[in-house]
Structures are given as structure tokens and as C-alpha cells.
Amino acid sequence: MIATIKEGGIIIYPLILCSVISLTVIIERLFFWISLKKKQNPLLRDQILQLSQKQDWDAIKKITKANKDHIIKILISGILHKDFSLSKALEAAAAQEIKKMRKYMNIIDTIITAAPLLGILGTVTGIIASFTALSSAGIDRANIVSAGIAQALITTAAGLTVAIFSLFFYNFFNTQIENAVSNIESYATSLEVLFEKEKIV
């Protein structure tokens, strides 16, 4: 492995850095989504909607005291501001939660784009080194250019590997975000419709 890294030339080091950053972000996001799913409480969400229909605000306050469910936080924010602007409160609270879900996604996106480009840069510098060595040593010493060719191949492979690995998780996290946003919109809309129907606001 160390020998391969050395053969990759100077471009291999930014690629290693990209892989470390990508892996760190992926692990952090995986723990975030696992934690988020553990805190979900669909039964309590439905109970809040039922109590809102009865206008039992004290009961809602009591059962959500130790709540950590992100959707319930959004619903509570809307209920607390029901006398001012329920929809705006829901929208603001939802934006905060969605922002947490999208945290660091731009880093993975950047690495997906940058890693192959770094790989191409390594390919170009490797080929240049090969031709430089070939012109200096002559065609009879073609084995001297092997280092440049190795650098070209290693950096290309490394760049693609980092990008492909990151892309799988980027798409996975985006799917999680889309599903979460859909759930938020569903519950927020239910609360808005309920308030309009019962003319609570």
C-alpha cells in the first residue's frame, strides 16, 4: 500500500485527503440518521394531531415535554404560534430541521466532483513525466517511463474510487432527506388543514 501511494506521485496525497474527509462526513451522517430514526415517535405525532383537534393544549404540552422527534418539534412550533401565523412557524421550524439534514452534503458533493479531476490531473502529470523521461533516456530505456505510467494509472483509479464511493452515500443521504421532507410536509399540512377545519386560529 505504501509503495502504491509512493508510485502515485504528489497528486495521490490530495486524493487521500479527499477520501479521509469523505469517510469522516459519511460516518457522521450515518450516525445522524440513525439517531434521527431512533427519536421518531409516529404514535405521539398522531396523538398531537388528535389533541389539537380537541384544543387540549395542556395535554400536548405534557406529553411532549421530553420529546426529541424532529417532526413533533415542528408541530409544536406551529401550535405555539397558532395565534400569529401557524404556516410561517411550521415553515421556519421545518427549514431548521432540513438544514440539519443537509449538513455537510456540499462537502461530499465537492469531493465527488474534485476526486476524478484530481485523478485526471495525476494522469496528465504522469504522462508528462513519462515523455520527459523518455526524451531524456531515449527509446532504448523505455523502462524508465514506467514510474510516470504507474502514477497516471494509480491516480486515475484512486480518483474514481473516491468519487464512486462518495456518490453511493451521497445518493443514499439525499433519499433520506427527500423522505424526511415528505413526512414533514405531510404532518405540517395535516395540522394546517385541521386548524382551518376547526377554525382554531
Q: How far apart are CA 5 and CA 89, in angstroms?
A: 53
The one-character DSSP state at 153 is: H
Q: 133 with 144: CB under 8 angstroms? A: yes
In this prediction, residue 82 carries a pLDDT of 84
For the entire predicted model, the pTM comes to 0.85
Q: What is the pLDDT of residue 24?
A: 97
Within the chain, how many helices (H) and strands (E) appear? 8, 0
Give mean pLDDT, residues 20-29: 97
The whole-number average pLDDT for the span 172-180 is 97
What number of other Cβ atoms are within 10 A of residue 141's Cβ?
A: 11
- Cβ 64 vs Cβ 51: under 8 Å: no
Over residues 50-87, the pLDDT tens digits come to 998 888 888 988 998 888 999 999 999 999 888 888 89
Q: What is the mean pLDDT of the chain?
A: 87
State the pLDDT at residue 57.
Answer: 87
CA distance 138 to 178: 59
pLDDT for res 201: 44
pLDDT tens string 34-43: 999 999 999 9
Q: Which residue has the cell 473516491?
A: 162
**Distance separating the N- and C-terminal Cα atoms of the chain:** 66
62-66, 157-161, 185-189: range with lowest mean pLDDT:
62-66
Query: Which residues touch 49 (CB under 8 Å, ≥6 apart)?
Result: 75, 187, 190, 191, 194
The Cα–Cα gap between 180 and 7 comes to 45
Distance CA 158, CA 193 (A): 52
- pLDDT value for 149: 73
DSSP calls for 20-54: HHHHHHHHHHHHHHHHHHHT--HHHHHHHHHHHHH
pLDDT per position as a tens digit, 107-157: 999 999 999 999 998 888 877 777 776 666 555 555 666 666 777 788 889
Residues whose CB falls within 8 Å of the CB of residue 81, separated by 6 or more in sequence, listed in order: 88, 89
**Least confidently predicted of 13-17, 23-27, 162-166:** 13-17
